Chains A and B, each alone.
Chain A
Amino acid sequence: MDYIDYYKLLGIPKTATASEIKAAYRKLARKHHPDLNPNDKDAIKRFQQINEANEVLSDATKRKKYDQYGKDWQHAEEFEQSRQQQRQSAQNQQQQYGGGQNMGDFSDFFSSMFGNMSGGGGNRPQAKYRGEDFSAEVRLQLIEAYVTHKQTLTVNGNQIRITIPAGIENGQTIKIKGHGGIGTHGGPNGDLYITFALLPHPRIKRLEDNLYTTVDLDLYMAMLGGEMTIETLSGKVKLHVAAETQNGTKIKLKGKGFPVYKQEGQFGDFYVTYNLKTPTHLTQRQKELFTELSKTS
């Protein structure tokens, strides 16, 4: 457990007055407040540190104890114990500080120095505070995002079963209400924000609700036409290749693309681009035939 220099954290001298502490806290809180830094996980941590520093330095009793024993907090513990023995009971101390619920917001250093004290600084000490919002990332294969399915997640030790709707987008965030941090003083729980990261498919690419793939087409089928089978995310599809198909030709399979998010029964399209493969390692006979063919044009 490391000593935390609260003065340094707030950027103020040890001689700072109460108003200077308040001004320094507000300045930093405005910079690092999680409400002002969405999607910044570090902001929550930085804000908690600033809050903790303010909690100690803005309270005369805590500040006195911190100033006296700050660097030697272990000795403060011993000192407090002997002082408590001199007192008749520890109950008075409990009344002096009051109980608290949000110890989770403070560092081990703070807890060891000040014990089970309440946060609740500022102008609204008994206000109900909403719990912290949690963020999590879930990685999905493209095929998993193709169908609506349930998944069990473990967030902060709790298991949550969620339904992931088909058509979820890479980078999309959904909110699970009330599954964030526990509220303070009876305030509501925070929310859980889950961001989905879709892993790339080896052959099929997705752009919004459409899917794209490239298939190799041999020269003979390109010239004479024919049938070939390709794989889509919903199964195999037979393609009719037109005669004299050019390299780079793109065809559309309507409704064979990705499901539209929360629009049941609606799908994007599947685009197939033909990549013409000319034959290699020709036999003598094939060369003769190509030569003969070339003379016909």
Chain B
Amino acid sequence: MEKTYLIALNEFCKNHNIEISFIESLQNTGLIETSKLHDAGFIEVEQLMQLEMYVRFHYDLDINLEGIETIMHLLSRIESQHKEIVKLKNRLMLYELNE
């Protein structure tokens, strides 16, 4: 059985000096998924990087939740377009080398 590593949200908030309500808001907007175990909130370790990025957006850059949602949407579009560009460049190379 595959192990899932969880991080206690209380611990995360303490370390980052942030309010738990911020994480609850992220959960409500669907930006992260948390789980409950014995009444304590947890997040899977795979989501940690993402959560830390949201914390930086909100607390360092003063971006609200709607702003974070918009940014994440645009970042995912940039990423898929970047992949598409690489794919098209590779395809183009096939024709360029035939010249």
Contacts and interface: CB of A to CB of B under 8 A. Distances in A.
A169 B93 CA distance: 13
A200 B99 CA distance: 14
Given A38-B78, A130-B52, A207-B94, A124 B61 contact: no
A29 B60 contact: yes
For the side of the interface on A, what is the size category?
20 to 34
A54 to B, nearest CB: 10
Interface string A32-61: 010110110000000000000000000000
A128 interface: yes
A95 interface: no
Q: Among B56, B71, B75, find the residue whose CB has the most chain A CB atoms closer than 10 A.
A: B56
A192 to B, nearest CB: 14
A139 to B, nearest CB: 15
Given A26-B62, A122-B59, A200 B90 contact: no
Nearest to B74: A36
A200 B61 contact: no
A205 B56 contact: no
A36 B53 CA distance: 10
- The prevalent SS among residues of A at the interface is loop
B94 A205 contact: yes
B61 A30 contact: yes
B45 to A, nearest CB: 10
Q: Among B53, B61, B71, B89, find the residue whose CB has the most chain A CB atoms closer than 10 A.
A: B61
Contact of A35 (B56, B89, B97): B56
A96 interface: no
A127 B90 contact: no
A127 B79 contact: no
Nearest to B17: A124
B17 A33 contact: no
Contact of B61 (A29, A127, A170): A29
Contact of A128 (B15, B71, B78): B15
A38 B74 CA distance: 11
Contacts of A171: 86-87, 89-90
Contacts of B60: 29, 33, 122-124
Nearest to B75: A38
A123 B53 contact: no
A82 B76 CA distance: 55
B61 A26 contact: yes
B17 A126 contact: yes
B21 interface: no
15 contacts: A26-B61, A30-B61, A33-B56, A39-B82, A123-B60, A124-B18, A125-B17, A126-B17, A128-B16, A169-B90, A171-B86, A171-B87, A171-B90, A206-B94, A207-B91
Interface of B: 15-18, 49, 52-53, 56-57, 59-63, 71, 75, 78-79, 82, 86-87, 89-91, 93-94, 97-98
Given A170-B86, A172-B86, 8 more contacts: A30-B61, A33-B60, A33-B61, A38-B75, A123-B59, A124-B60, A206-B90, A214-B98
